Structure 1
Amino acid sequence: MPFTYNGLPSRVIFGQGTLARVAEEVQALGCQRVLVLSTPQQEGQARQVLDQLGELGADVFAGARMHTPVETTEEAMRVLSSLGADGVVAIGGGSTIGLGKAIALRADLPQVVIPTTYAGSEMTPILGETKNGLKTTQRTLKVLPETVIYDVDLTLGLPVAMSGTSGINAIAHAVEALYAKDRNPIVSMMAEEGIAALARSLPIIAGAPADATARSDALYGAWLCGACLGSVGMSLHHKLCHTLGGSFDLPHAETHTIVLPHAVAYNAEAAPEAMARIARALGADDAAGGLYDLAKAVGAPLALRDIGLNEGDIDRATEIATGNPYWNPREIEAQGIHRLLSDAHAGRRPETLEATDR
């Protein structure tokens, strides 16, 4: 079977206590004065990183926000310029990592990324930015972090609710990689392994958040799923989530968690091989139902109405999502997308087309 696989040039440090290596990794990139990035909620962790960097640390910018608003990036760029920083260290989840990428796009500076969630953005050359209420994405190696430090210890305190939604957000990357237009056997192998690692570890974490073995398994799965996202194109699920996040300001991980089973149900008939692999990785009979049951098992939200989407917004969301759709294994039909969003809004357990037809 002919295929093309593009490996991504990033350095990965994985283990426990690996945060201690941040200064040497910054030096290895040739940086002398780096800006540490975080959200306001994680400023304390950012200050600890700044202390570890010593003379290599310029300051902390703790203004990262969800969906990477352009105005936040512009503010960070002004701070970066005033400090004369020659690199960035981002600690946190997708919001902070997105800000680091947005800076790299504009200033072409090296990045060291320290993920504290399972979002997976650190392994991708993809940047999503929001401007005037619309989220747009682009793919360029300019935004791929040079070095990623995975420290399992930093995830031990990740709240149970965030662990579940962040982990299923990661699973979404691998799910769509399995039916991507440019899929290949290497990425498909990583995708199935990533889904399986998260599917077995997230329920354990929900009951025992400090279980270091489960946390390590989840972080390993998130790394694999993020690498899938970085290597192949995404489809309907990601388009829907970008629409809901960018235009309706819904929380990123929760949106992915709720939409994923419904997007999978929509595509089930058009991608049977992918569905079989997803179900196998989940240990479930049905891919869409298995994803919904996993979300329920970890206590994640199941309905878009519970995270801020009004029923009256479904028509507008359908219009945006179908206006400039990503490639998808099944044709994008407005009526089907409206039904998908209605089911996700209500939190109904999804059924595949085959199940519905019976």
Structure 2
Amino acid sequence: MRILALAWEFPPRIIGGISRHVAELYPEIVKRGHEVYLITVAVESEPLEAIVNGIHVYRVPVQDDKDFFQWVGQMNAHMLDFAREFLTINPMDLIHAHDWLVEEAAIALNHEFAIPLVTTIHATEYGRCNGIHNDTQRYIHHKEICLTKASQRIIVCSEYMRGELQRALDCPPEKTDVVYNGLSVERWQNIAAYRQLDLGSLRSKYAKSEEAIVYFVGRITYEKGIYILLNAMPKVLAAMNDQVRLVIIGTGDAYSILLQRQAWDLGIYHKVLFTGFMADEDFWEFQKVADCAVFPSLYEPFGIVALESFAAKIPLVVSDTGGLPEVVRHQITGIVTRVNDANSVADGIIEILRNPDYANTLANNAQAELKERFAWDNLAKQTEAVFLKAKPSGSL
């Protein structure tokens, strides 16, 4: 098949999870004998046309705009202009769109060129916001409904998300296919192989030698449930004789300030380190001295950070929301706690820190699952099967 892909982010432009998903899925699709032509947004210092790991990448320039939705409109207009010209000499068998941000271009191309449309919905506005409450959310919600209705097949990353699309977007479950996210072999090897010879010196950058290191990594937003982790820490510190340091890694300046104030009010500010942004290489190095990862999300369609913890052999504690319980099997590959329950999260952390042999077993089991359930070559095969469902019989 010849596949035209539309995505608003692609490395080195990394805003959320779509970028890495696209960059890791499509090379495996190419290995299966297909051609992938990706239209995305131009980035400074990157060529407008290039072949990246077998993907034909076309980057369209989009001018900065303070109004995000006007910027998205510009992006779709530029993608559409480029695609119309491109398709006149490069016929395609399929369009693969990623999320509502490319809805206008995807639907227009589907209608104008009669090319089947498959859409991957990575998350919904309804899920992120726990409902639709204002005009901005209604605007995005409407785009998601239009895109899913226009698509011949929908791909989601978890069974939870299949149900969410049915509830929130009235998307028939029989039109929706579940294909998990994965972790590329290259990224896994980078995470697992990264070594720091002087671990004592490295640990001292984040904690005292006698302190266990518990961490969260991700966007610093309300839906990630970091406030629940902070509320859990007094119980953890009491159980572990105060010998724990919490490290919070990620960006989100306005919300970070509120969380720092919460830590101060809880009397644990001296036990919490907010690092801000951390480059991959620094994070892989940091993981070599960490004892437990915690992801207490309120909303999480899948949870790619869980797979990265699997790769690093870090025991982890997650909440039972969204796709996380599908990714992390309770007491087999990690500990699953009740969502929005600080006591439950605290108990999970304490169990990990008090039982290093058990924690190590969880981490070993998780690595085995990473090979079996979350390898991109298998996930690409599943994605290919969805593409074939959408492709009319008799086409190339």
TM-score with structure 1 setting the length: 0.32
Q: More helix per residue: 1 or 2?
A: 1
Greater Rg by CA: 2
Q: More strand per residue: 1 or 2?
A: 2
